[in-house]
Amino acid sequence: MKSYENRTGVTLIEMLIVVAIIVILTTMVVGIAGRIDNQSKEQLTKSTFGILTAALRQFGDYKYNYMPPYSEFDFPLDCAFFNDGGLETTLRIALGASTAVISSGAPDPTFSFSSGEAMYFFLSQVPECRKTLDRIDESLITNLGFDQQPRIITITYPSGVPKVYPLFRIIDPWGTTLQYKYYDNTFLDPRSKLTFPVITSAGPDKKFGPGDDISSRK
């Protein structure tokens, strides 16, 4: 007579199959969650572009009065990849100030802060633009430097009265500073002005260049 034993356990192969299925499902869920997260951040970025575009149009309509030699410019000056000395000099001349000194907060070693700081600074000089900037998500506005200290600039006017301004800039939801472009690859040359400035996010990979960059032109 044959006897049969009831099998109540699982074999090693069956366990490996179950683990493999769980790994595959987990990978799929994480991938889908990542795509949904990036889509949400991309939508927030485009929404921010819409707000900044509105502020730039208001700035252009306001006819901001730059001091020479910047009188021919219609939008915030493009100080892309300036070091702090270059940014200080540009702001001082454009404002007709006696001095402009960044007194706190280290710049990014790649000088990626300067164009965004110049854009935000000049937009904030116009009351209508300031109201529009208030619509930007607070989590996307910072003045922390590379050393995590607030970046501050002190500007002294011919009247002798100094004014202290935080050097705010706007970052994208992935934490990279937005790049602002108003000139066409020519250093502060009015002849190279774009018809309308372009703002760019590096996207999920946090690197500017072909690929997943998000532009206000699109």
Taking only the tens place, the pLDDT of each residue in 8-59 is 566 878 778 878 788 887 777 776 666 778 789 999 999 999 999 999 999 9
Domain contains 2: no
User: pLDDT for 73-129, tens place per residue?
Assistant: 999 999 999 999 999 999 999 999 999 999 999 999 999 999 999 999 999 999 999
Domain contains 6: no
Domain contains 143: yes
Residue 36: CB atoms within 10 A of its CB come to 10
The answer to whether 206 and 187 have CB atoms below 8 angstroms apart is no
Domain contains 65: yes
Residue 107: CB atoms within 10 A of its CB come to 21
Question: Who's near 119: CB < 8 A, 6+ residues apart?
Answer: 52, 76, 169, 170, 180, 197, 199
Report the domain count for the chain: 1
Report the alpha-carbon distance of residue 99 to residue 186 in Å, rounded.
Answer: 26
Domain contains 4: no
Closest CA to 95 of 124, 70, 113: 70
pTM, two decimals, is 0.83
Domain contains 127: yes
Domain contains 32: no
Question: Who's near 144: CB < 8 A, 6+ residues apart?
Answer: 105, 150, 151
Domain that holds residue 132: 38-215
Domain contains 3: no
